[in-house]
A and B are shown apart, each in its own frame.
Chain A
């Protein structure tokens, strides 16, 4: 708890992979961990109580029983995935058992023919359920309760008539015995069949259209309907599949036992329900997996089996099963409810980060960053017409483009930029902008990747993934937060993926974490591939190609640094610091007309923020105990624009002292003697006249020269 020795313990914490806890919890397979663990524990306990339980001989005999139970569990799992319940599985099981024995023993139907007949019979019984529940929309619980009673009664009636016939007509049948007691490569036949079924169903469930539909219907029936899914058909097919599987289970039971009694399949529905709930298949539907259903079946069966073997009375076994079912349901409910809370608290995982001592910015301190109010006189454009213009850019014709929070790109043109057009609708959150050689607007879209917009407004995707790194739990092939880009003379696009752990809506949490979560990617249009160029950066943000095209400058927001990275020559891929002690949080970098660079400072560090960064324990506890809105944040209410030289000298600094027009300044573009400013959360764009600037400077011309394409207009002289 104590931060008494910050120089050792806290510093070491940066190597402690506490962020992995959250990443593991965020994985979809985390739901399976609990049932799988319980299964292993139950098996180990069984082995302890009954020596030799996990021995080969015992496993073979237990697994014979298990296979039939497992088939019914699979059927029930399908229905429960779909948001339903099938209580009639025991009845179908018994009827199928009876039918199979009657067909083979009495009527002498060949086994090859009898098997499909029994399965179809099961399917027909399921169709009754499916019709009543799926088509007529009667409650599943009531319908299947009724059909259970009916099926059972039918079994009892039929047994009265046919039991003696079936027993009397018993004949040796090799195929039938192969199904019942045969082995394939040492494994009981029915277990092999179950394994095949489980694999097929898993594939259907996770990869087929019907499987997805059933899952969707179970998750949210109305939403599935609105999404165009045939809800009735999905439900109907789930019940048919369930009964067909139950019938198959009954058939194998018949083949194994060769006889029939009044108690066949009695109470099966409860045991099966217990099994799949124990496996973590949500009774509400929409969540679960075949593997988990199987794990649950193993747990239930081993439990029952062990209790019986230990000589516990039959009633007590059911009681234990009931209690286990209760615990499983209770756990399921609590887990559902609290999983995201645990995740939320465990995900943000602050690390030790020691920033360089910031320069003094007080007025009169003589520092190049001295506070002033030079942005006060800025001209306000598009007031109230924009929402979060993170980046602004001007084309050869002097039209202004900016990305919106809603996923749009607006174009402003004409006198005082009074004409607003919806240039493109990309979706996501457009951030960094740049023009390529052919006047396409290349856009970094948070949550989507790298996109382009042709001059006529057509949107095209460049890339949305990079190479997956070897040792990451979270899938880092996704481009989660493409932030800013620039284009090298050879057409390669270098762009920052600010964080592999956070999206834009939670980008500030990445700062609270202070980890090296970001990277710079390179998209090569020649091969249409994306590769990670530099990784392990602290929220890389603005990128600007240097004039010679051999390196680019980039800003690391939460590292409060500007660095250079070579893309050519012997130092290719190497990074060197250019400015290491910024007083604030840098954002985009762009070229100035005099060969220097503009840098937007989106917010300020504060001494308390710097101190908190060196005390990860403090931030961990803050994240857990204080509500989000009350967390300590960097001061994004005060920002500035600075001009720096390629060697890192600070040449100029424009502050927004009044804090009205430019909170969270994220970008600036110089164009024909003006500097245009945009802000991440702003509702306006501003521009300020520059004193000593080249009045003819136009960004795309500076990058790509006069247009090559015949017919397009040249950059207008001032």
Chain B
């Protein structure tokens, strides 16, 4: 592996597989996540989003909030649990589906009544991280890690976890089938409408896997070498997708991931908030590590500083080629972009680190 890398780099002058790609072309940085419209209410740590008929469901800690009204400014609690809600999905046939840490999938049927899904062919589902409803009415659900709960993602990153799974609960209520195993913290899951391929975003491998419906045992890499840690992927009405990243990869974090002794001692002795690791929020902790490029000069933090936290949403076309990107850069605030929901032409993005719901496709004046 190392020899092949060296050969590639020194002889063929190809960038190494480890290299973080530049933000260029459709990825070119901008401030569109800073200047775009957002919903009026501030919601603490919003993550999973799901758009119902006339309501936007938001997972906020252990609660599910329903936002309704013309400006989505009426907030009411739809459900509450004793553990954080990681992800949401809504389907007219099924109702609202919530992935609750430690519990499994909780289905809130439209006619009322609650059902908990956790049985699988093997180990029960413990730490759901992403959920989507497929064409047949089955539930596609990802489990980020077998050992770590969804909210402990930073541990799984530093442990280089590869214990994630993709499961499918069939509509008839039978135990779930395991579609893929050994995934590196899958969070986002979606189904491509034209060929039924299931797309899974593997955060720690910075790629999107495609699992063809005909041969689920042979997943393909459909999008590779992403510049950040992909979070959710959501299919839009036009056949394209939105893909969110909760943080960008940085050289320093990639380096620390190769430094076994340092990482072990860091994890043993230091509070995770202060690790060399990506963060969701732009709010600076007084003991957090800082990189040279992020030191303020002329009292300003430069937008191109190596980002500890970042906001990025990318639009993909039906062939999964990136066509546009929306950034909140190092000097911005709307960081930790995760949950996505389409409502027709409208795209909602949950900025987890900013306690905000953003509308990246709309200008500031148009909304609220």
* A binding-site residues for B, Cβ under 8 Å: 2-4, 6, 361-362, 371, 387, 508, 604, 606-609, 611-612, 615, 618, 621-622, 625-638, 659-661, 663-664, 679, 681-684
Contacts and interface: CB of A to CB of B under 8 A. Distances in A.
Given A626-B255, A637-B284, A608 B296 contact: no
B299 A660 contact: yes
Given A608-B276, A659-B284, A682-B299, A628 B262 contact: no
Nearest to B298: A683
Given A3-B261, A625-B255, A627-B251, A606 B289 contact: yes
A607 B287 contact: yes
Nearest to A655: B286
Interface core residue of A608, A636, A679 (most chain B CB under 10 Å) = A608
B292 A361 contact: no
A634 B297 CA distance: 14
Interface string B263-301: 001100111001110000000101111111111111101
B289 A635 contact: yes
A664 B298 CA distance: 10
Interface in B217-270: 250-252, 255, 259, 261-262, 265-266, 269-270
Given A607-B274, A629-B293, A682-B298, A618 B259 contact: yes
Nearest first, the 7 closest Cβ-Cβ pairs linking A and B are A629-B293, A3-B261, A663-B296, A630-B251, A608-B289, A635-B290, A683-B298
B289 A371 contact: no
B306 interface: yes
Interface of B: 250-252, 255, 259, 261-262, 265-266, 269-271, 274-276, 284, 286-299, 301, 305-306
B289 A632 contact: yes
B259 A621 contact: yes
Given A615-B261, A633-B291, 20 more contacts: A4-B261, A387-B298, A606-B289, A607-B271, A607-B274, A607-B287, A608-B274, A609-B289, A626-B252, A626-B255, A628-B293, A629-B291, A630-B250, A631-B291, A631-B292, A635-B287, A637-B290, A663-B299, A664-B296, A681-B296
A633 B309 CA distance: 17
A375 B275 CA distance: 28
10 contacts: A4-B261, A607-B287, A615-B261, A630-B250, A630-B251, A630-B293, A633-B294, A635-B287, A661-B299, A681-B297
B262 A3 contact: yes
B295 A636 contact: yes
Majority secondary structure, B binding face: loop
Nearest to A617: B261
B302 to A, nearest CB: 10
B19 to A, nearest CB: 12
Majority secondary structure, A binding face: loop
Nearest to A584: B286
A632 B276 contact: yes
Contacts of A681: 295-299
Contacts of A636: 290, 295-296
Contacts of A607: 269-271, 274, 287
Nearest to A661: B299
B298 A632 contact: no
Contacts of A632: 252, 276, 289-291
Nearest to B302: A629
Contact of A629 (B266, B269, B292, B297): B292
A506 to B, nearest CB: 11
Contacts of B274: 606-608
A4 B262 CA distance: 10
Contacts of A625: 255
Nearest to B295: A636
Given A637-B294, A664-B296, A681-B297, A608 B275 contact: yes
A622 B294 CA distance: 17
A143 B252 CA distance: 56
A637 B287 CA distance: 11
Given A607-B274, A621-B259, A659-B284, A630 B289 contact: no
Contacts of B262: 3, 611-612, 615, 618
Contacts of B296: 636-637, 659, 663-664, 681
A582 to B, nearest CB: 14
Contacts of B294: 633, 637
A323 B295 CA distance: 52
Contact of B290 (A387, A615, A633, A660): A633
B151 to A, nearest CB: 21
Contacts of B266: 608, 611
Contact of A684 (B255, B265, B287, B299): B299
A371 B286 contact: yes
Nearest to A633: B292
Contacts of B306: 629-630
B293 to A, nearest CB: 3
Contacts of B301: 637
A371 to B, nearest CB: 6
A628 to B, nearest CB: 6
A664 B297 CA distance: 9
Contacts of A362: 286
A307 to B, nearest CB: 34
B255 A606 contact: no
Contacts of B275: 608
A606 B290 contact: yes
Contacts of B290: 606, 632-637
B288 A635 contact: yes
Contacts of A604: 286-287
A681 B300 CA distance: 10
A4 B264 CA distance: 10
A321 to B, nearest CB: 30
A606 B287 contact: yes
A588 to B, nearest CB: 19
A627 to B, nearest CB: 6
Contacts of B252: 622, 626, 630-632
Contacts of B270: 607-608, 611
B309 to A, nearest CB: 14
A659 B252 CA distance: 24
B58 to A, nearest CB: 30
Nearest to B251: A630
Contacts of A2: 261
Interface core residue of A660, A661, A663 (most chain B CB under 10 Å) = A663
A264 to B, nearest CB: 48
A684 B266 CA distance: 37
Nearest to A660: B299
A481 B57 CA distance: 59
B264 to A, nearest CB: 9
A2 B264 CA distance: 12
